[in-house]
Amino acid sequence: MRRREFVAMVGAAMAWPLATHAQRKAMPVIGYLHFAAPNYIPASNSFLLGLKEFGFVEGQNVALEYRWAQGDYDRLPAMAADLVGMGVDLIAAFGPPPARAAKNASSAIPVVFEVGNDAVEAGLVTSLSQPGGNATGLSILFVQITPKRLELLCELLPDARTMVSS
């Protein structure tokens, strides 16, 4: 799945809860929960671009509350609880630990996540086709598909002795 498809999916998933809560607040608030540091630009830029593609512009018609764990996963539950306490309309969580922290912090606030592993195995959803509960998102399955990718690469380049990833 390409970045544009991911951004479009997250934006679409966010559009529904934001529209339903728009009457309640002057501006919907999205909690942004990430395991990295604020200088991890690719995630936030793609996220903002996806929101913009669906008509949401930070500061104009949507507010964002950023929480960056800076690699300290022990901080995530408190950060998620802080977002819930603020009454955000939705939590966008990036990575399994942030998604788990957001899901555990509230069963009422929608959680949209992006994870690189199996969301079912991580305990985030009941199934990929019927997530259930308040959490849904994108499961990229890096771990599960990497062996297959390597197998295909070996078939395409049978004489290669070294494979380098950039």
| Residue 141: band (very low, low, confident or very high) from pLDDT cuts 50, 70, 90 | low
Percent of the chain past pLDDT 90, that is, above it, reads: 40
The whole-angstrom separation of Cα 157 and Cα 121 is 33
Contacts of residue 78, defined as CB under 8 A and 6 or more positions apart, other chains included, come to none
The whole-angstrom separation of Cα 105 and Cα 94 is 15
Mean pLDDT over 5-30 rounds to 62
* pLDDT tens digits, 100-136: 999 999 999 999 888 877 777 777 878 877 788 888 8
> DSSP string covering 37-74, please?
-TT-HHHHHHHHHHHHHTT--BTTTBEEEEEE-TT-GG
More confident position, 18 or 61: 61
In the chain the domains, ranked by start, together with CATH numbers, are: 3-156 (3.40.50.2300)
Min mean pLDDT across 21-25, 73-77, 151-155 is at 21-25
Judge contact between 84 and 105, C-beta under 8 A.
yes
* pLDDT tens digits, 115-125: 877 777 777 87
